[in-house]
Amino acid sequence: MSQYYSIDAESSLISPDITSHNLQPIKPLKLGVMASGNGSNFEVVAQAIQEGKLNAQIQVLIYNNPSAKAAVRATNRGVDAVFLNHRDYKKREDLDREIVKTLRQYDVEFVIMAGWMRLVTQELIDAFPNKIINIHPSLLPSFKGVRAVEQALEAGVKITGCTVHLLCLEMDSGPILMQAAVPVLPDDTAETLHARIQIQEHRILPLAIAALAEGNASLAEGIAD
């Protein structure tokens, strides 16, 4: 028999459902975060660590926008913030080599792209194979690229959401780790819908980080250790 579900404006359907599992890594994860803007996802990871929900340490924040509030958030939490201005590099590969150099200087194991608004190259991907996580405000593979929330509204979909996935060379692609679905309301604007999607981003990002690090079989199927 088919089953039907409804979700209200403040809830979401998260898949896979691993919230009740023990996903605490045995040893602290050494994270590097990359951000270009406000840094709310940086903040939620840092808060999860502070509250003991994620056994990890943020080694460094790398940012490419001089006005990024993420740098202020990092400084306020005692995390080194390293500014790498993409305009100073002739090629994307040159920037990524400097990013890799910085991440290695800080002994980073996993890289979290939390609103990093630059396309990456194979230089970065090869340096941290299957250890770079990205979060995107849509249910991939739908609505890749910029203005994902606006794309969803323009398409008239009734459900959208957010996705945490492993990074690959193709934009907003790679194995999906976790998704949260969010209903689109009749009176939604890009601002109101994005605000509700962001709530779910903050829920699933720490879970996805821990799950990947633990090699959870249901998430890592088909992904090399």
Q: Active-site residues: which are they?
A: 136
Place of tokens 């009734």: 158
Closest CA to 180 of 144, 137, 150: 137
Identify the three-state secondary structure at position 163: strand
Question: Is 142 annotated among the ligand-binding residues?
Answer: no
Question: Is 164 annotated among the ligand-binding residues?
Answer: no
CB 24 within 8 A of CB 52: no
Question: Is 92 annotated among the ligand-binding residues?
Answer: yes
Question: Is 40 annotated among the ligand-binding residues?
Answer: yes
Question: Is 12 annotated among the ligand-binding residues?
Answer: no
Question: Is 153 annotated among the ligand-binding residues?
Answer: no
Residue type, 78: G
CB 32 within 8 A of CB 56: no
Residue 109's beta-bridge partner residues? Answer: none
Q: Give buried/exposed letters for 107-120 (b at 16+ CB in 10 A, else e).
A: ebbbbbbbbbebeb
State the angle between helix axes of 148-155 and 190-214 in degrees (0 to 180), rounded to the nearest 10: 120
Question: Is 119 annotated among the ligand-binding residues?
Answer: yes
Question: Is 65 annotated among the ligand-binding residues?
Answer: no
Question: Is 117 annotated among the ligand-binding residues?
Answer: yes
Closest CA to 215 of 225, 204, 203: 225
Binding annotation: 39-41, 92, 117-120, 134
Instruction: Please state the residue numbers annotated as binding site for (6R)-10-formyltetrahydrofolate.
Output: 92, 117-120, 134
